[in-house]
Structure 1
Amino acid sequence: MEKMNHAFEKVKILVGMEVEEEEPAQEESSFAFIDDFNRNCTFSTKQRLYGFAICLASGLTFTLLSLLVFFNPIKFGITFTFGNLMSLGSTAFLIGPQRQFSMMLDPVRIYATAIYFASMIIALFCALYVHNKILTLFAIILEFGALIWYVL
């Protein structure tokens, strides 16, 4: 029975639910905002799955819609980047924002995460302010490459 309870606690941690156990006194850390956010945003498993499904479906829809405007790199850059952000945000519903953030800052993924977010910012900057199709297309190619690297 104890093994089953231990396995159930591991599943709760994986899904991002709080596990009932005594916590040591915590000191103020750099994750204080994210800790408060996690405590205030406790969703049930069903709510987490709905949020994940809605965000993922929205992200995939925007990403697929971006293919319709592929020959207009400015519109393509905006819709593709927004779709990627929605898809990335969907996983925060499953594992929680704090765990998502810590996984993104994992030493294995830190470079891919930095390049991915930098290329998103560059793509949006080139699309919205510079209005240069070649630079926007280059930033989108960089963003897609960083996304593949991040996923791998």
Structure 2
Amino acid sequence: MDKLRRVLSGREDNEELGLTAQVLDASTLSYSTRVKWFVICFAGGILCSILGTALLFLPSGLKLFAVFYTLGNIAALASTCFLMGPLKQLKRMFEPTRLIATIVVLLCLVLTLCSVFWWGKKGLAIIFCILQFLAMTCSFLHLKSS
């Protein structure tokens, strides 16, 4: 399996690895483990978002909706860390072609919670949730296109 990984990553068999590379190779997750945790995290994010939407119709459900919807989007965003690794994902998120979508996603995540808990503006929270959805969709489309 290590030989296949070296071939797919472009490393030669006779190439010696440094200590840092050896530690990183020893601590990486297998492909099947990455996919499993991606699915678990992404499904958990979708479940949180759906639960938040269902809680919206309770008397004080807007706060719960904002929290669960935001947690769902964070979990969905974090799920891709399992596929490509956190550093590579951060580098890709802040590439010039994705920078605006990334800033809008992060800003809307914070502003949704601020509008519910500190400002008490329900309509503004709904607008920020819609913007979260649109920015996350744009962000995922950019990640997939690369």
With the shorter chain as reference, the TM-score category is: 0.7 to 0.9
Which residue of structure 2 lines up, in the alignment, with residue 52 of structure 1? 38
Which residue of structure 1 lines up, in the alignment, with residue 144 of structure 2? none
Whether contact under 8 Å (2:6, 2:12) holds in the other structure is no
Q: How many residue pairs are counted as aligned between the two chains?
A: 132
Write out per-residue CA displacement over residues 115-147 of structure 1, whole angstroms, 9 at most, x where no aligned residue: 110011000112222232122112112212212
Write out per-residue CA displacement over residues 58-87 of structure 1, whole angstroms, 9 at most, x where no aligned residue: 111101112202343322111111001101
Which of 128, 134, 145 is 1:145 aligned to? 134
Distance in structure 2 (CA, Å) of the matches to 1:70 and 1:41: 42
Write out per-residue CA displacement over residues 95-120 of structure 1, whole angstroms, 9 at most, x where no aligned residue: 11111111101111000100110011
Structure 2 gap segments, 5+ residues each: 142-146
Which residue of structure 2 lines up, in the alignment, with residue 79 of structure 1? 68
TM value normalised by structure 1: 0.71
Could you tell me the percent identity over the aligned residues? 28
Q: What SS does the aligned partner of 1:52 have?
A: helix
Decide whether aligned partners of structure 1 residues 58 and 44 sit closer, same or farther in structure 2, where only a CA change above 3 A counts. same
Decide whether aligned partners of structure 1 residues 6 and 86 sit closer, same or farther in structure 2, where only a CA change above 3 A counts. closer
Decide whether aligned partners of structure 1 residues 105 and 43 sit closer, same or farther in structure 2, where only a CA change above 3 A counts. same
TM value normalised by structure 2: 0.74
Structure 1 gap segments, 5+ residues each: 27-37
- RMSD over aligned CA atoms reads 3.2
Detail structure 1 runs of 4+ shifted over 3 Å in the superposition.
5-8, 18-24, 38-41
Which residue of structure 2 lines up, in the alignment, with residue 63 of structure 1? 49
Which residue of structure 1 lines up, in the alignment, with residue 98 of structure 2? 109
Which residue of structure 2 lines up, in the alignment, with residue 30 of structure 1? none
- Give the structure, 1 or 2, with the largest relative contact order (CA under 8 Å, sep 6 or more): 1
Q: Does 2:28 align with 1:42?
A: yes
